[in-house]
Chain A
Amino acid sequence: MTTFVFLIVYVGLVSFLVASLVRAVMYARQPLHLRWELYPVPHEPSERVAHGGSYFEESKWWEKPRTVNRLTELKFMLSEMLFLKALWEFNRGLWFRSFPFHAGLYLLIASVKLLILSALLAIFWPAAMAGAFGAVLGALVAVCGALGAFLAMIGAFALLLKRLRDPDLKNYTAPGDIFNLLFFLAAFGVLAAGYLLRGPDYPGTVAMAVALFTFDTSVRIPILLAAGLILMSLLITYIPLTHMAHYVGKYFTYHSIRWDDLPANEANEIQQKIAQYLAYRPHWSAPHIRADGQKTWAEIATTNPHAGGQSK
């Protein structure tokens, strides 16, 4: 059974990374769109960010050096990612449910990363794990994991209740939305139960991680914990296949759309890309477009629909 569990865990981790990457690459390879920014744009100088202003507030803005403050952008993004700032500002009731859920996930991720570190140290530098440092690391893994699972479950349950009871949400709730939250609850619940009921034969969390790294299938995994690991692996396989992969999408909605205010004149790359897109041949059917499958976008844009007769 250990072999089976390990394989599922490997597949889960790899498919999570690959599917998330595929999503990111897919969006990154889509054509550069027309500008569609939304203010405030946090990389403007701080005196402008305060009121949501842009470089367009200066007369002859193109003759002046443009300041792009990546630090304020990072600060904005971090407060959004870590503390769900927009939800706090605009939907406080939901924040009290969503924040514990997301904070729980972050703590679980932290726990997994610390566990990986512990396992690598145990394999390559066993002395480091033998002393106090190892004990602290082990405690951190346990605390982050336990707190993370607790918060994520509380949050998922609160979100589930809200989705089932709030008339604002009901009309838009698909079966999949309920399933997703139940899936989280089941995976975290079984994993937590498996850990709490691990019994005296449990080899230890770090030893399990080491076994995973070294594919040592001789370790015995308690049955409930194995079920928890399998559910978690299925969950992380599933997440990037759904809209829950907004950790990928959000990068693009913010950086590539809301905050993309780069003037075309300042980037040759933009000009080159647009020149390429203008050679596309659209197929829109309305008569005034004058697209015949042969005309390029550039030709259509320079066609007056009145030339050669009325289009409508």
Chain B
Amino acid sequence: MSDEKTKRQKKNFVKLSDMAREDGQPLLHLENEDLMRLPPPLDDPAKDRPWRPIPDSAREKYECILDDTVAVNVPKPKTKEEERELVKKFLAGLDKLFLKEDNWTFLQPLVLSMEYCVKCQTCSEACHIYEASGYSELYRPTYRSEIMRRLYFKYVKHGGFLAAFEHGDIKLNWALVARLIELSYRCNLCRRCAQTCPIGVDNGLIAHELRKLFSQEMGIAAKEIHDNGSMLQLKVGSSTGMNAEVVKDNIEFIDEEISEKTGIEVHTPWDVQGADVLLIHNAGEILAWPENPGAFALILQQAGISWTMSSELAGYDSVNYGLWYDDAQFARVALKHAEAARKLKVKRIVLGECGHAHKALSVIADRILLGEDNIPRESAMTLLHEIVMSGKLKLDPSRNDFPVTLHDPCNLVRLMGVVNPQREILHKICPQFREMHPHGVDNYCCGGGSGFAIMSGNNFEDWRFHVSGRKKLEQILNAFSDCVDDPNVNKYVCAPCSNCKGQFRDIIAYYGLWEKYRIGYGGLVELIVNAMEDVKPGFIDWEWH
């Protein structure tokens, strides 16, 4: 172990028992000096952005006792009695996580992850958050898991003295529960740690199950993914707040824009019965990156694909935030997606550029969608690959003659195995394509995974950019190390995922990477359209990003 690592570890060391500390103080405070060093030109910690403190208004109302930020806004209990009630609720939820009637969905993986960790810490080095934080103990992937494990053996298995001897003891109080709520939102659920575990224990799953406990039993979840996320989606049809009428208006506007920009008349079809493909975008694309759904429409139209979009509730928004925190919300949204496809009698659902939507509907929901609801689902990556390789589109790679690197969205790649189609497309249409290292199933999360990309309350952004997004930022700077200082060279981070793009948009703005180093970002379809010979040159709008 390097001296530097040991020094940082000592400074930010936190004992497991500290989680129950009742002094009302955070367990960790990070300075820029503590963090993993970035490569040039961001290698000077003194020039890094300062952290904003948690606003006093939030400190007064919410539990801010974990670290330098607050993600969930858990109200402070007013009395000791209220604290006791909350702890009681927590224990009731903990029990339910281990009952098949309540948690058949993940019972077996959870029990196995509880019972077999040998605490070898092999997983720690794989975690980008732990590394980027300068190896802060609090963010070690096993820290949270070990708390949960000790609670499991003490309160679910009622192991008494023997459990304390074999697994270690733990003190449970409201301070621990409040900190655990926040700590469950310091993991991107990317499961890179699980990939390295020799036993197959899954710390990402444990964070996921903790979030479920808090949501499903205590009604506590990050506002952005619950109230403004899955609840809003089930109410109006989209977590963006767009109802069917608004989304159709917006798409019509996008069609007009794209037609004008490309010189090709584009028309997005709605609610076409019996179409081959139902395309579902992350609706965030429609508002934040309209060129993405526009590019999709153009490509599918020019390739002669029979396709449609749906105006059913949730049928035009593929997000399913329940994936990150709540099984009931997850199942409800997945069933809505299936219902939209079933009503239109389409042959397949194709998921647009959204990683978590891919995994949610293609993989996780596979064992919820029974019978006629189990309509085949496919990634846009494979459909685009088929189109690009078929020669149906005339493509001129010289139009994309600038450095391009590819970010692998965890949900699409490590958790679903869609690795090569997007790479083969880039190899074909981007002469200066270069990989990040590591990449593919060994990739690092963008730092916005599991909902973080849409969470910016209080000062959470500072944590998101300094800590969870830091490893990816390092990868991007390294991928462009040959040209990062050249202001005449535009560089493109291709991120075929809305949440990842959200993280890139924000971190690029935070560090001024476009203004200073001409590092931009976008999706895959934009590069395809940019290379289409039939399209007016210059589809990619660098300045706009």
Binding site for B on A (CB under 8 A): 27, 30-41, 44, 48, 51-62, 80, 84, 86-87, 89-91, 94, 98, 167-169, 171-177, 179, 242-246, 249-250, 252-254, 256-258, 261, 263-265, 270-271, 274-275, 277-278, 280-289, 291, 297, 300-306, 311-312
Report the bound CA distance from A94 to B442 in whole Å.
21
A36 and B106 in contact, given A52-B417, A280-B101 (Cβ under 8 angstroms)? yes
Instruction: For residue A241, give the distance in angstroms from its CB to the closest CB of chain B.
Output: 9
Q: Is the interface of B mostly helix, strand, loop or mixed?
A: helix
A302 and B335 in contact, given A38-B195, A39-B441, A283-B101 (Cβ under 8 angstroms)? yes
Most chain A CB within a 10 A radius of its CB, from B113, B124, B197, B335: B197
16 sampled A-B residue pairs with Cβ under 8 A? A30-B111, A32-B104, A36-B202, A57-B419, A60-B378, A98-B120, A169-B121, A171-B15, A171-B16, A176-B165, A280-B102, A282-B103, A283-B101, A286-B217, A305-B332, A312-B227
Indicate if B376 sits at the interface (CB-CB under 8 A): yes
Within the complex, which residue of B96, B108, B124, B414 is in contact with A33, where a contact is CB–CB below 8 Å? B108
- Classify chain B: how many residues form its interface, as a range: 35 or more
Instruction: For residue A172, give the distance in angstroms from its CB to the closest CB of chain B.
Output: 4
> B236 — nearest CB in chain A belongs to which residue?
A306
Report the bound CA distance from A57 to B370 in whole Å.
23
* B residues in contact with A38, CB < 8 Å: 191, 194-195, 414-415
Binding site for A on B (CB under 8 A): 1, 6, 9-10, 13, 15-16, 89, 92-93, 96, 100-109, 111-113, 115-122, 124-126, 137, 142-143, 146, 164-168, 191, 194-202, 205, 215-219, 226-227, 231, 234-235, 328-329, 331-332, 335, 348, 362-371, 374, 376, 378-379, 381-383, 385-386, 413-421, 440-442
* A residues in contact with B122, CB < 8 Å: 86-87, 90-91, 94
A306 and B104 in contact, given A36-B109, A56-B379, A287-B219 (Cβ under 8 angstroms)? no
* A residues in contact with B378, CB < 8 Å: 56, 59-61
Instruction: For residue A46, give the distance in angstroms from its CB to the closest CB of chain B.
Output: 14
Question: Can you list the 8 inter-chain pairs with the closest CB atoms, starting with the nearest?
Answer: A54-B417, A253-B200, A52-B441, A176-B166, A174-B168, A301-B331, A286-B219, A31-B104
Report the bound CA distance from A53 to B117 in whole Å.
27
Report the bound CA distance from A242 to B117 in whole Å.
11
A285 and B92 in contact, given A30-B111, A264-B367 (Cβ under 8 angstroms)? yes
**Quick check: B107 and A33 within 8 Å, CB to CB?**
yes
* A residues in contact with B227, CB < 8 Å: 312
**Quick check: B9 and A91 within 8 Å, CB to CB?**
no
A59 and B231 in contact, given A252-B108, A283-B101 (Cβ under 8 angstroms)? no
* A residues in contact with B121, CB < 8 Å: 91, 168-169, 172
**Quick check: B234 and A305 within 8 Å, CB to CB?**
yes
**Quick check: B441 and A242 within 8 Å, CB to CB?**
no
Within the complex, which residue of A30, A56, A174, A246 is in contact with B107, where a contact is CB–CB below 8 Å? A30
> A300 — nearest CB in chain B belongs to which residue?
B328
> B197 — nearest CB in chain A belongs to which residue?
A86
Report the bound CA distance from A254 to B109 in whole Å.
10
* A residues in contact with B109, CB < 8 Å: 33, 36, 253, 257
**Quick check: A284 and B368 within 8 Å, CB to CB?**
no
